[in-house]
């Protein structure tokens, strides 16, 4: 999970850079995603906290954003993909960056807990 402050002028620049590295490495054969390493990406607000005692801490992420990202991750099996990105996230990427990334639209899909189908994308194999 990427945590990004909304006060940044370009809050998605770090995420875009990470996605570029994933795409570049994947298509150049340097990165392979094991069948159990599927990724779901969604944007929005989430609550992040350290909970527990000083001896036993746990990092917690909760919220609708986290739930949707998890549901998207689960859709990778259905679409035989390794990475699914929500339309909400894709639309937040600057046009200049979006043009240079090989996004491929997948059918809008219902996900548990959301009333409307979610627009989803993956990276097109070049």
pLDDT tens digits along 45-98: 888 888 888 888 888 888 998 899 999 999 999 999 888 999 998 888 777 777
Least confident of 15-19, 37-41, 104-108: 15-19
**Closest Cα partner for 64 from 116, 5, 7?**
116
Q: How far apart are CA 72 and CA 42, in angstroms?
A: 8
In sign, the C-alpha dihedral spanning 9, 90, 48, 34 is negative
State the pLDDT confidence band at 15, using cuts at 50, 70 and 90: low
* Residue 27 in this model has a pLDDT that exceeds 70: no
Alpha helices in 3-118 (DSSP H): 13-27, 64-79, 87-92, 95-99
Tell me the C-alpha distance between 54 and 119, whole Å.
42
CB 13 within 8 A of CB 110: no
C-beta separation of 90 from 121 below 8 A: yes
Query: What's the pLDDT at 38?
Result: 82
Which helix (H) or strand (E) covers residue 76, if one does? Answer: helix 64-79
What is the set of domains in the chain, with CATH numbers? 34-123 (3.30.70.1230)
pTM of the model: 0.72
């Amino acid at each position: 999970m990427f945590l990004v402050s909304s006060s940044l002028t370009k809050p998605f620049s770090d995420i875009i850079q990470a996605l570029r590295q994933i795409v570049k490495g994947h298509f150049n054969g340097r990165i392979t995603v094991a069948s159990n390493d599927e990724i779901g990406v969604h944007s929005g607000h989430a609550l992040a906290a350290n909970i527990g005692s000083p001896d036993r801490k746990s990092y917690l992420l909760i919220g609708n954003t986290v739930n949707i990202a998890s549901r998207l991750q689960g859709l990778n099996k259905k679409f035989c993909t390794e990475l699914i990105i929500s339309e909400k996230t894709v639309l937040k990427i600057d046009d200049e960056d979006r043009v240079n990334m090989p996004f491929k639209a997948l059918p809008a899909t219902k996900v548990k807990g959301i009333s409307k189908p979610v627009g989803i994308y993956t990276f097109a194999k070049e």
